[in-house]
Structure 1
């Protein structure tokens, strides 16, 4: 009996703990970090992956690869055999084809991924959900082995998933659906699991800032550019130091991003080899042979070592590529030669795009602050690339420096930063790093029909007579919560009040409000072609109209009036919305938010 009482006490003592899990779901590799209440300084990165060949299983990353087998079985990550039919790059399928640049849409890897999904009759959300299920189960097992089953069972979970800053908002809703299908949000004794999102560059910046904390060469007004180079996307975010103790920064100019990550360098190298081998020889190779060749000669050979210096690489042409005559007349494998210029031709199209974005950030910062940023900081898996570092260093002028960490630091920055972000928002972080404000990448607002004002409204506006209000109104005018380029406080919350009128005969109502966005600056004053629908906010609860207060119009007609507020909160590069009625926030289960892909 005493033992049972101790067990209950132990459970109660841990019931308020929170385990924070940061997931960097990447195009080529995925990474996960975690911590628990008040233990940010003891953050751990998940390793010990299941591996088919027991190679690289203790890396701080796992390949974002999935293979469907027979009888519903599937393998993932390092456990996928090299010769298995597999799907890669499926993260990029989360967004609609029209939102991908033309060169990405035409990519052989994207086409192969789409074909794989068609063959197996799967949607992108189903494939992502299956990969996340494998990843999640592995992580929970490792976390349990690290901190113990009791703490895991009686702690709340806060999951933070990172997303590219350049992705449309609907991708977040799709990722939430995938996480739910994966079982990550299932009911637990400790309470509802919280799922939030943070942009990849902000997460990377938070990890970088924590590493820079306490440096004596950082002073107020210094600025620096964080370049997050991932597998698929490259995002850039720039900060200015507000104060050094504690280290507090604000985003100083609007960030940038593009689909120009490492996968496009890899694909360019495949195309180079195809030309060097000739199409005939290349097509004779099996998928497994090509995979091994690229893995050995490129991924673990030329790619990480290349700095731009003059040299030549000799690559064997496999026996299977040769015809019978060649096989009988040769006693050694023939080779193809790759020069430094060949390899530069593989890297440069992507590096040039990255440099163009960095250059834009530097120019904008200098125009605003009258001085250059102090550091250009490379993070992310591709951020470890030696040639990228040397290329940027050669193009910089003035006192600016490029910083590039070695080891696992750059490629774990995003998952570690996700944990730091959630820890700070929960008041659990022991790190003294703060982001005071961000800059909005778009304008967000709703439509309103205000009273017609001849001085304010234009001929393009639609003028109509409202029977309810007994006045002329201007249809579909924009009321912006937030405008592109504006500073957003980390805890920035904006509310807008709305009225809806219902006639006496109506019994119930189920309100709905549309949210719009625009990337044009300044945003339009009316809903035109530059204004796109972001989402619809729908109340799942039906409201008794007869219970609402009444309002009488100038003709004496009595109408019921519903007053409510919509609150917009900005956090981690994304926006969230909530509905308030009678001063109370409506529970998420009572409000449905449907995102649109325009």
Structure 2
């Protein structure tokens, strides 16, 4: 396609409001450690008539979408190493949660129909566009129609939730969010989930809407990073050979051992003096005896012999200081990141930190935050682990609550302008219909770091060059650079495709196509309009 001589660059509001006919919002918080669902009206058993003799156990597979390029053919391994398509696993999990939500509504209320439900699916704000497209397609395969689904960003929904309740966990103050964080105030939301720390900085505007101050950021400093430290600790106590055999031969007991830690890590505090007691599966004791003669012998030969003891039949006692050290690298990495973040000139007047997510309920994290940032008010809502889920229901009714967001990428398409020897390298020179053109030119629609309103659109009219084809593939490209030249630059990658049908054209006829990208929401929207027929294609992205 070549660029048309006239340029269109306009702002328009694109409504994402939920259909007025929708009676319910069902929120699905697709977590790393735990997943949850909530309905906005009430407070089913999932039925599967298929084969029940083959099971596959996938643990914390959500993390595969963090900092990885995924498509519909990407595979993940179950606990036994068998590969399956990630798309199928995500779809299955979403379908289960969706069916549970429907079952709960039907059980509570009569005459509920699926067409009355709008779904909100939460994802980390630091996920890229490709991961969001992946999740949307997985939800659609799970039976949720595209028009009935909204993708919500986890720290944003938590932020919305906090506006609806008393924010002081300790009960010393009855101040509401509005009284604590006044209009014009900036605050940071630190969503500490199972897999990631998802950090967003908002400013509360005069009209009560919220605006991003910095792009979402974070890292893999969630609770599962500490779980990994625990697994390494078990390896050091019982030997790698023993733990691997437990995992391969006694998976249920291995999972129970991990869950035991999940429970214990919620009770550890900075001042705890007594040992942490872990109940060991009997199979672990047996495997240890087989390879190390006894559990005590394994401990004696380990690097933990001074801090760990064993009591028959199945009790392991761990020194609390050793237990606390399992948390230290993850907490230190989080604190270091936040300390650097707060040095940003845009945050000189930021005085409030809101902590949500299951890991934020850990006393060790809270103590470290208060010690490192004594001059900032730290707010932790009651049941912080449910803030994202409950806020997602509210977001379903207020999808425009976040008024402006900051683009994390530069967005564009491929264009084919006429050849200019002074601008274009010879390697990009091609001839189409007797005209010399430059291929692979990155035509920008929006630039990384730009702050855009929800619904901001940028459009451009192009001319289709190959009118003898039945379809036209419109490809969206993204880049980490603010001014990429070609779609083949190292900083660029293809995001997704939109396939547009082309009507038959007579010889000599031309076809103009208007491409429009709509920014500012939780997802990128892409629309292609046939200027001859007026036909519009949108949102049918295909992942590469």
Scaled to the shorter chain, the TM-score interval is 0.7 to 0.9
1:148-297 alignment, distance < 5 Å? 148-149=110-111, 151-152=112-113, 155-185=115-145, 193-211=147-165, 215-243=178-206, 246-279=207-240, 282=243, 286-296=250-260
Q: Which moved more, 1:26-35 or 1:167-176?
A: 167-176
Rounded to whole Å, the distance in 2 between the matches of 1:262 and 1:585 is 51
Report the CA distance shift for 1:173/1:319 in structure 2 as closer, same or farther (over 3 A): closer
Rounded to whole Å, the distance in 1 between the matches of 2:103 and 2:69 is 39
Report the CA distance shift for 1:344/1:70 in structure 2 as closer, same or farther (over 3 A): farther
Q: Which of the numbers 115, 120, 132 marks the counterpart of 2:94?
A: 132
Q: Which moved more, 1:211-220 or 1:167-176?
A: 211-220
Q: Is the 8 A contact 1:205 1:417 kept in 2?
A: yes
Q: Is the 8 A contact 1:156 1:193 kept in 2?
A: no
1:393-472 alignment, distance < 5 Å? 393-397=370-374, 399-407=375-383, 410-425=384-399, 434-452=401-419, 457=423, 462-463=428-429, 467=433, 470=435
Name 1:8's counterpart in structure 2.
none
Name 1:353's counterpart in structure 2.
333
**Which SS does the other structure have where 1:160 is aligned?**
strand
**Which SS does the other structure have where 2:127 is aligned?**
coil
Q: Which has the higher contact order (CA 8 A, sep 6+)?
A: 2
State the 1:98 CA deviation. Answer: 6.4
Q: Is the 8 A contact 2:222 2:359 kept in 1?
A: yes
Name 2:451's counterpart in structure 1.
487
**Structure 2-normalised TM-score?**
0.79
State the 1:209 CA deviation. Answer: 3.6
Q: Which of the numbers 78, 91, 94 marks the counterpart of 1:113?
A: 78
State the 1:164 CA deviation. Answer: 2.3
Q: Is the 8 A contact 1:226 1:378 kept in 2?
A: yes
Name 1:102's counterpart in structure 2.
none
Q: Is the 8 A contact 1:94 1:125 kept in 2?
A: no
Rounded to whole Å, the distance in 2 between the matches of 1:259 and 1:530 is 23
State the 1:85 CA deviation. Answer: 6.6
**Structure 1-normalised TM-score?**
0.72
RMSD of the TM alignment (CA)?
3.7
Rounded to whole Å, the distance in 2 between the matches of 1:474 and 1:171 is 32
Q: Which of the numbers 327, 337, 346 marks the counterpart of 1:368?
A: 346
Rounded to whole Å, the distance in 1 between the matches of 2:405 and 2:129 is 17
Name 1:499's counterpart in structure 2.
463
1:20-99 alignment, distance < 5 Å? 20-35=25-40, 72-73=51-52, 86-93=57-64
Report the CA distance shift for 1:247/1:125 in structure 2 as closer, same or farther (over 3 A): same
Aligned residue pairs total 491
Structure 1 stretches lacking a partner, 5+ long? 1-13, 36-42, 51-67, 76-83, 100-109, 186-191, 428-433, 547-557
Rounded to whole Å, the distance in 2 between the matches of 1:591 and 1:393 is 44
Q: Deviations over 1:289-333 (max 9, x none)?
A: 44334434x2223x1122223523344656551649869x99944
Q: Deviations over 1:448-481 (max 9, x none)?
A: 23345567x265883556555x5x5443222211
State the 1:145 CA deviation. Answer: 2.6
Q: Which of the numbers 475, 487, 492 marks the counterpart of 1:531?
A: 492
Q: Work out whether 1:379 is the aligned partner of 2:356.
A: yes
**Which SS does the other structure have where 2:201 is aligned?**
strand
Rounded to whole Å, the distance in 2 between the matches of 1:206 and 1:74 is 44
Q: Deviations over 1:388-425 (max 9, x none)?
A: 1111222225x212221232xx2222233333333224
State the 1:94 CA deviation. Answer: 5.4
Report the CA distance shift for 1:523/1:160 in structure 2 as closer, same or farther (over 3 A): farther
Q: Is the 8 A contact 1:502 1:559 kept in 2?
A: no
State the 1:446 CA deviation. Answer: 1.0
Q: Deviations over 1:500-530 (max 9, x none)?
A: 2457xx4x6322211100123x231333121
Give 1 or 2: higher helix fraction: 1
Rounded to whole Å, the distance in 1 between the matches of 2:45 and 2:320 is 35
